[in-house]
Amino acid sequence: MLNQATIEIIKSTVPVLEVHGTAITKRFYEMLFTSHPELLNIFNHANQRQGKQSGALANAVYAAAANIDQLENILPVVKQIAHKHRALGIKPEHYPIVGENLLKAIKDVLGDAATDDIINAWADAYGVIADAFIGVEADMYAQTAAQPGGWDGFRKFVVTRKDQESSAISSFYLKPADGQAIAAFLPGQYITVRATVKGRTNTHLRHYSLSDAPNSDYYRITVKREAGNDAQPAGVVSNYLHDQVHEGDVLEISAPAGDFTLDPAVPSQAPVVLISGGVGLTPTISMLNTLVGKQPERPVTFIHAAIHSGFHALRDHVKDIAEQHPQVTSYVCYESPLAGDTCDHTGYIDLQWLQSVLPEETARTADFYFCGPTPFMKTVLQALKQNGVAADRIHYEFFGPAGSLEA
């Protein structure tokens, strides 16, 4: 436990972190990878270059400082991050390395303003925060390995099938190379692929949502090729999967993880609204497939937005489900339809259109799950709030480091 003097010092640094947090975490990663280049085998290099990782860490540090006397307030965030740490293979021995470099970065950025009292207080606070993460992650490691079909670390899976779903999206069906059982998962969870890419020095780890219902003898991931542009580099692993991985090849993956989930074992008659943009449909497809199998009486509205039909994956699959299950209603939105495209809405999803397709009763009683590019999710979240949807009925997933949709 922290003494009151330490708590007061940490809380006094909250305004400083609000201003300098991203600069501190950016410097932290520079120092970390200089002193421990082996950790580049764990971290996503693209997120580093784009500043996503440093921004997410800054938010986490800020939240920890603001709640240092009531860390239970950030337990949901701890658990969310812990899921990713377990999937990546972060272990207790990594935490002292992180702590040492974080304190150095604070001192380096703040200079003389980072007094010995502040550094010592943050050292004590980091120890408490690290212990919270280590404890949560230890439970996750144990539960994951002990469950039927579970395992620790990375396991070899064979690509038994590869389907082209759209011009930029492919599905990969994965079965364990050892022929043994695989762990169950909740719809919405992801697996982590560890790739060794020719011409690249480090291994690369990426999370990919499972895109089919659980309780099968395979996992399926549906991956968009990230071609890259002036603002964003090409995706190393997504291009590797599309160009170099074929049926019969072997991938290493960690067991399913993630807290953006729909649990079909929890009885409910509440309607479900699934909203996705682009490849954000991967977790919502898993939820849809699960709902029609496990809760076939539950009303489901499936809304998907894409640029046009050329980028729309699994459209026929969703259409078939809607035709076979009268409780499922499906809507398609295209930003820029091609000649001959048919859709229910042209342009972007907005409040007015959502209100036109969702009855007032649905908006009041439904559980909403959505995923997609960050600008898309910001728009959806704002529309749901304006439409009176309660906060505890809104669930969403970031691809990559968690950010904020409130800005």
**H or E stretch including 224?**
strand 219-224
Of 402, 132, 376, whose CA–CA distance to 259 is shortest? 402
CA 154 to chain centre: 19
Residues 6+ apart with CB under 8 A from 266: none
Binding-site residues for heme b: 85
Binding-site residues for NADP(+): 278-283
Question: Which residue of the set 137, 165, 335, 397 is catalytic?
Answer: 137
Beta carbons within 10 angstroms of residue 189's beta carbon: 25
Q: By the 8 A CB rule, do 322 and 316 touch?
A: no
Question: Which residue of the set 29, 95, 369, 396 is catalytic?
Answer: 95
Q: Assess whether 137 carries a catalytic annotation.
A: yes
Bridge partner list, 223: 170
Between CA 344 and CA 305 the distance in angstroms is: 10
Residues 6+ apart with CB under 8 A from 4: none
Between CA 96 and CA 326 the distance in angstroms is: 55
Between CA 171 and CA 162 the distance in angstroms is: 6
Binding-site residues: 85, 190, 278-283, 398-401
Binding-site residues for FAD: 190, 398-401
Q: By the 8 A CB rule, do 335 and 240 touch?
A: no
Q: Assess whether 95 carries a catalytic annotation.
A: yes
Of 349, 313, 371, whose CA–CA distance to 171 is shortest? 313
Q: By the 8 A CB rule, do 319 and 286 touch?
A: no
List C-alpha distances in Å: 396 to 76, 146, 290, 317: 14, 28, 18, 23
Q: Looking up tokens 């230890």, which residue turns up?
A: 138
Copy the structure tokens of residue 64: 């920890």
Residue 207 sits at φ, ψ, to 5 deg, of: -85, 135
Between CA 286 and CA 212 the distance in angstroms is: 4
Q: Which residues are catalytic?
A: 95, 137
